[in-house]
Amino acid sequence: MLLLPYFPKTDLPVLLLFIGRFHPLILHFPIVIIFLTLALEFLYKTNLLQRNERTIALMLGLASLSVFFVVLAGYFLFASGEYTGELIMSHFKAGIFAGSGILITTVLYLIGQYSNRKILNFYFTSLILTNAIVGYASHLGGTITHGKDYLTEYLPEIFNKRNTATKPKEEMLVYEDLIVPFLTTKCISCHNEHKTKGDYLMTSYATLVKGGKSGNSGLVKHYPEQSELYKRITLPVDHDDHMPPEGKKPLSLHEIEIMEYWINAGASTKQLLIDIPQDSAITQTIESYLPESRRLNGKILKQKAEKERLLTELTELAKKLNVSVQEDQTSEENFFTLSMQFPPANFTGEQLKELQAYFLLFTKVSLVASDIKDDDLFLIGQMTNLRELYLQKTAINGSGLVYLKDLQYLERLNLSFTQTNDATVLEVLQFPSLKQVYLFGSQVSPQVLQALRANQLSREFLLEEGPYN
Ligand code: HEC
């Protein structure tokens, strides 16, 4: 058994693959039995239960028999190649130690029982150790199935009672716990510091009141009809000024009602839910809206945590590769931008490949003056959320542009100071969303440029150096 990890993975007969799938089911048997054995031993030792050697012998026998099949099935599952990675290897090894532990414990017990009673002390130590290893191996196995942090996911919420998602109702504030969550999920993406549509910043109470371009106050205490925010959310959905704009998820009727009530009541940030008179018409609405507000709060927190995790991982990797990774501030989702540092490091397709696990998270990539080649654009073609790509001062001649033609969101492409020529530049005509192409200092001739400009009115072909990131 101990040698199993050193067996190479081979093609297994289907029957063995079938047996392998039983591993997650049958593994529970030896775990429970070996734990019960330990529990029994404690009960015997403390005289809470009458000692019965046959029970122990039976339990150990069953544990040994079942663990043998569990390890075998586990090996088949492993050898099928369905699972790979370090975690799998650790679980595999821990599982084998656990299995060996059970067998050794059984043997020690039998020797102790039937020939040399001194060995029984070793048996007991071995039983405790084995239980610990089984626990560890099971934990690793659970991590494979449920993911890291599964066990501890709710811990912060247990300790952090003030977490809005789980805050008791008596402490909930109308503004902070009911209103902010839906404004955050439905409005902030266009009304934040980086992207302030209509000059209306919705990230704090003060700016929410202040209003935007129209000059009207966003919130007028006690007068919803005079509040620009309320006016916008209650316009007919197909009205040009309705908020959020067409295509974005509108506020629900409950959310609009709560907003109206809150402004009428004075739009205070301090009003508690329990301050609302029980008999008022809004209590019913709020009651049925509570689960939704908790869900939104949970979602916001989770997304924040996820972003932090990704940012930490990416920052570490970026440091290693000598490049710079930043949050994409213009996006409401967890997106990032990649750019070169100055002076530029050695950055080729090899280095780019190291970021492959995160390709879908990049919206903006600037590889100015890097060592990226045409062939490497194949990798960039996998960044399906890419909106802007800066390739100026690289050695490409445009022959790899064909790899980018399926990028649905690519709007801006900078090819200044590259060897892109009359033939290769035509590839960009296939790009579905492209709006701007920079071609200053490239090999594209004035005639082709003119023809492109005349025929491709939806795109701009610019003879400018263009932005760098
Ligand atoms: C997809 C982007 C987008 C989203 C999401 C969005 N808005 Fe807007 N908002 C705009 C744009 C663009 C304008 C400016 C054009 C206009 O005034 O209609 C604007 C303007 C406004 C204004 C007018 C500010 C002023 O004083 O001129 C208000 C109020 C407003 N939005 C409220 C909201 C609210 C409330 C939500 C969420 C329910 C929201 N917006 C979601 C894009 C957005």
3-state secondary structure the chain: CCCHHHCCCCCCCHHHHHHHCCHHHHCHHHHHHHHHHHHHHHHHHCCCCCCCHHHHHHHHHHHHHHHHHHHHHHHHHHHCCCCCCHHHHHHHHHHHHHHHHHHHHHHHHHHHHHCCCCHHHHHHHHHHHHHHHHHHHHHHHHHHHHCCCCCCCCHHHHHCCCCHHHCCHHHCEHHHHHHHHHHHHHCCCCECCCCEHHHCCCCCHHHHHHCCCCCCCCCCCCCHHHCHHHHHHHCCCCCCCCCCCCCCCCCCHHHHHHHHHHHHCCCCCCCEHHHCCCCCCHHHHHHHHHHHHHHHHHHHHHHHHHHHHHHHHHHHHHHHHCEEEEECCCCCCCCEEEEECCCCCCCCHHHHHCCHHHHHHEEEEECCCCCCCHHHHHHHCCCCCCCEEECCCCCCCCCCHHHHCCCCCCCEEECCCCCCCCCHHHHHHHCCCCCEEECCCCCCCHHHHHHHHHHCCCCEEECCCCCCC
- Nearest alpha carbon, ligand 1 atom 20: 198
Q: Determine the Cα–Cα distance for residues 441 and 443; give it in Å rounded to an integer.
A: 7
Count Cα neighbours of 273 within 13 Å in the Cβ-side half-sphere. Answer: 20
> Tens digits of per-residue pLDDT, 191-213?
988 778 999 999 999 999 999 99
Cα(260) to ligand 1 centroid in Å equals 18
**Residues constituting the chain:** 469
Mean pLDDT of the chain: 90
Cα separations (Å) of 166 from 116, 163, 246? Answer: 58, 6, 33
Cα separations (Å) of 219 from 76, 184, 247, 255? Answer: 65, 16, 25, 16
Count Cα neighbours of 186 within 13 Å in the Cβ-side half-sphere. Answer: 22
The closest-lying atom of ligand 1 relative to the alpha carbon of residue 213 is 27
Q: Determine the Cα–Cα distance for residues 398 and 418; give it in Å rounded to an integer.
A: 8
Residue 130 phi, psi dihedral angles, 5° rounding: -60, -40
> Tens digits of per-residue pLDDT, 334-350?
899 999 987 767 899 99
The alpha carbon of residue 50 and the mean position of all alpha carbons in its chain are separated, in whole angstroms, by 53
pLDDT at 153: 58
The closest-lying atom of ligand 1 relative to the alpha carbon of residue 200 is 24
| % of the chain with per-residue pLDDT over 90 | 71
Cα(2) to ligand 1 centroid in Å equals 65
Closest CA to 385 of 404, 362, 365, 355: 362
Cα(327) to ligand 1 centroid in Å equals 23
pTM score, two decimals?
Answer: 0.56
Inter-residue contact 348 to 375 (CB < 8 Å): no
Q: Determine the Cα–Cα distance for residues 243 and 232; give it in Å rounded to an integer.
A: 5
Cα(221) to ligand 1 centroid in Å equals 20
pLDDT at 306: 87
pLDDT at 163: 53
By most ligand atoms within 8 Å of CB, the mutation choice from 196, 200, 246 for ligand 1 is 200
Residue 152 pLDDT > 70, yes or no?
A: no
Q: How confident is the model at residue 162 (pLDDT cuts 50, 70, 90)?
A: very low
> Tens digits of per-residue pLDDT, 354-384?
999 999 999 999 999 999 999 999 999 999 9
Q: Determine the Cα–Cα distance for residues 427 and 460; give it in Å rounded to an integer.
A: 15
Cα(224) to ligand 1 centroid in Å equals 16
Residue 212 phi, psi dihedral angles, 5° rounding: -125, -145
Strands 460-462 and 412-414: unpaired
pLDDT at 149: 60
pLDDT at 156: 54
The closest-lying atom of ligand 1 relative to the alpha carbon of residue 240 is 18
Residue 54 pLDDT > 50, yes or no?
A: yes
For ligand 1, residues with CB inside 6 Å are 186-187, 189-191, 197-198, 200, 211-214, 216, 218, 228-229, 232-233, 241, 243-245, 248, 251
- Tell me the domains of the chain and their CATH numbers: 4-146 (no CATH), 164-302 (no CATH), 322-462 (3.80.10.10)
pLDDT at 192: 86
